[in-house]
Amino acid sequence: MIKIRNLNLSLGGKTVFCDFSADLPETGVTVFRGASGMGKTTLFRMMLGLQKPDSGTISGIAFQRPAVVFQEDRLMPWASALENAALGSGDEQAQAALKKLGMEESMYLLPRELSGGMRRRVAIARALAYGGDALFLDEPFTGLDEENRKSTVKAVLEAGVPVYVITHEDAGAELFGPHETVIIG
Amino acid sequence: MKAKNSWLKKALIALIYLAVWEAASLLVGRELLLPSPLSTLTRLVALLGQWESWAITGLTLLRIMSGYVLGVALGILLAIVTARSKLMEEFLAPFRSVVKATPVTSFILLALLWLDSNLVPLFIALLMVMPMVWTDTADAILHTDPRLIEMGKTFGLRKAGIIRKIYIPSVLPQFLAACTTSLGFAWKSGVAAEIIALPQRSIGYKLYESKLRIETVDLFAWTLMVILLSMLLEKLLVKGMRRIRRD
């Protein structure tokens, strides 16, 4: 169990978390819901150690090597889809991940030559190829059609690691099957 | 078809410029004041037939290009130092401003006091190139997308990996552009330094000599040589860059 206790955080003079506590499962799929601007991404960042809370604790984190799909794609504009996907892994893993997401035709294209949905899939492939012991997906479905959402969820569940997802869509959350839901805000 | 057209267009434009030059020279009517394109080209071809001209050109090239390479290297080094440390940036910023603002002739005259005349053009080219590469490279380092750096760290890249996979490719376009722009400056200021420092066997010496003897055709021919070399070097540099950037 990941225990979040009495979290407080202000960013730029705005209170994002005020005495926030929650328990999160260490296995399976956890979906974070809530209106935008309520701090879902910031909670992710604190769980990943990218953002320190002003006060409060997050304990019981068992993962060592989280793989992240950020809210933005964060692709290197000078590198091909394959090079981007292989950033934290080898070419083989990256190729396999891109194939799972239906990107085998576009591996050697640069991000600017890809559509928005394809760029999203490269970012997801990078996280899958990394082989982390937990997956953090911040709005993974942005720009993806129904078919690609399904293949993304399939590939994510196949990884067999705990998955933490931020999505504002009911349909997106349902695709993951049984899951815990945490409401933020 | 398109490539052919663009060549034709370029040739036509060059021809128009040559015609204007020829007309002006005819109008002036004195080779001493404005030599015709034909006599300039004839002299250039004659120069190219002499071993001595090649030696002169080679030595000028060597002086200026050594200064250029050293200037680029120093510019990179200073860019890294000042981009990494705010204190170093504040400390070195006045130095950069002074180097940028000082008239190149003042530097040439100063360098003449300190250095062998062969080293003056090298030093001057270095001084021209260094601040340009420094400024642009430091700027590019500071503008590397922090979200990409965070992403790289998240995906397990260490410092060397972040530098190699994120910083260098991100900085490269602006750095290479600074290299191209500063090449022209190195070349012009380097030749100017030669004209004042007068190292034996240099294009600058030849330019000075032709002015002294009022051999305007020589002045034009050597100047044309400088222009052609500068264009050639820039072409080579741009070609090399395309290779590095893979586009």
Among the partner-chain residues B154, B156, B166, the one whose CB lies closest to the CB of A76 is B166
Alpha-carbon span B139 to B161, nearest angstrom: 21
In angstroms, the separation between the Cα of residue B121 and the nearest Cα of chain A is 37
Alpha-carbon span A165 to A56, nearest angstrom: 22
pLDDT of residue B64: 96
Burial bucket for residue B170 (CB in 10 Å: 0-12, 13-18, 19+) = buried
> Do A156 and A137 form a contact (C-beta atoms < 8 A)?
yes
pLDDT of residue B244: 76
pLDDT of residue B93: 95
Alpha-carbon span B242 to B247, nearest angstrom: 6
Contact between chains at A74 and B156 (C-beta distance less than 8 A):
no
Q: Does position A23 have pLDDT exceeding 70, yes or no?
A: yes
Chain B residues within an 8 Å CB radius of A71: none
Q: Averaged over A141-155, what is the pLDDT? A: 92
Q: What is the pLDDT of residues A59-105, one digit of tens each?
A: 988 899 999 999 999 999 999 999 999 998 989 999 999 999 999 99
Test the B interface: residue of A76, A113, A119 with most B CBs within 10 Å: A76
Alpha-carbon span B69 to B76, nearest angstrom: 11
Contact between chains at A130 and B169 (C-beta distance less than 8 A):
no
Among the partner-chain residues B150, B156, B169, the one whose CB lies closest to the CB of A76 is B169
Q: Break chain A into its structural domains and give their ranges.
A: 2-183
pLDDT of residue B2: 59
Chain A residues within an 8 Å CB radius of B156: 65, 88, 130
Contact between chains at B152 and A87 (C-beta distance less than 8 A):
yes
Contact between chains at B154 and A68 (C-beta distance less than 8 A):
yes
Alpha-carbon span A162 to A172, nearest angstrom: 17
Beta strands in chain A (DSSP E): 2-11, 14-24, 29-33, 55-59, 66-69, 134-138, 163-166, 180-183
Chain B residues within an 8 Å CB radius of A123: none
Alpha-carbon span B61 to B67, nearest angstrom: 10
pLDDT of residue B246: 60
Chain B residues within an 8 Å CB radius of A130: 155-156
Contact between chains at B165 and A88 (C-beta distance less than 8 A):
no
How is residue A113 annotated by DSSP? Answer: G
Phi, psi (rounded to 5 degrees) for A66 = -70, 140
DSSP β-ladder status, A163-166 and A180-183: unpaired
Q: Which CATH superfamily is domain A2-183 in?
A: P-loop containing nucleotide triphosphate hydrolases (3.40.50.300)
CATH of B50-245, one of 3.40.50.300, 3.90.78.10, 1.10.3720.10, 3.90.320.10: 1.10.3720.10
> Do B88 and B141 form a contact (C-beta atoms < 8 A)?
no
A91-100 and A116-130 helices, crossing angle to 10°: 130
Full pLDDT tens readout for chain B, 247 residues: 556 788 999 999 999 999 999 999 999 988 889 999 999 999 999 999 999 999 999 999 999 999 999 999 999 999 999 999 999 999 999 999 999 999 999 999 999 999 999 999 999 999 999 999 999 999 999 999 999 999 999 999 999 999 999 999 999 999 999 999 999 999 999 999 999 999 999 999 999 999 999 999 999 999 999 999 999 999 999 888 888 766 5
Size of interface A-B (CB pairs under 8 A): 36
pTM of the model: 0.86
- What are A's interface residues with B at a Cβ cutoff of 8 A? 48, 50, 65-68, 70, 72, 74, 76, 78-79, 87-88, 126, 130
In whole angstroms, how far apart are CA A142 and each of A106, A119, A172? 19, 10, 10
Q: Break chain B into its structural domains and give their ranges.
A: 50-245
In whole angstroms, how far apart are CA B218 and each of A100, B29, B31, B158, B203? 70, 17, 11, 59, 11
- Residue A168: pLDDT band with limits 50, 70, 90: confident
How is residue A130 annotated by DSSP? Answer: H
